[in-house]
Structure 1
Amino acid sequence: MKYIITVILIAILGGLGYGFYVKSSGNPKADVVIGICVLAIAFIFMPLFIYHRYKNKNIEDFKFDNYRKDLEEHLEKEKKKDG
């Protein structure tokens, strides 16, 4: 998966570079190439990257409930310290 994401990123960056290079020469089709590359970043690269980074993570660690409990404990400690 890591290599697939790397290849896709290189292809997208190459496409963007090509699109901007062609745009500087005045070709109106360059905007289409740049647009396709931006869509590929948004709808292909980012979901694959996010899936790859979070596939083995425990989602419970990222819930707000855990942070709320920690915040309440911290506030209680601060009250005891001040009072």
Structure 2
Amino acid sequence: MKYLILIFFLASAGLIIAGFTTNTENSQKLIGFGVVGLFVIVFPLFSYYRWKDKNLKDYMLTKENLDKMRESQEDNRR
């Protein structure tokens, strides 16, 4: 999965760079396809890859997590 994301990222970056460096009638389309590739393919794949084994409750501000944070701050002050 990591290599697939890298390939799509390099392809999108290549399209954007090719669009800026060439002066043809399709240069704006190359830039557009590169940006769409980043936001529609690369970022969702990257987000899924990074969050797939994580527990979402660990990152939510629930009462239990707030209490843990307060206890941790009190311990650090001592």
Structure-2 residue corresponding to 1:64: 61
For structure 2, the residue ranges without an aligned partner over 5 or more in a row are: none
* 1:28 corresponds to 2:25: yes
Kindly tell me the number of residue pairs found equivalent between the two proteins. Answer: 74
The one-letter code sitting in structure 1 at the alignment partner of 2:40 is: F
Structure 1-normalised TM-score? Answer: 0.74
Structure 2-normalised TM-score? Answer: 0.78
Percentage identity across paired residues of the two chains:
32
How far off its partner does 1:71 sit?
4.9
The one-letter code sitting in structure 2 at the alignment partner of 1:61 is: D
Q: CA RMSD in A?
A: 2.0
Distance 2:70 2:52 in 1: 30
Q: Which has the larger radius of gyration?
A: 1
For structure 1, the residue ranges without an aligned partner over 5 or more in a row are: none
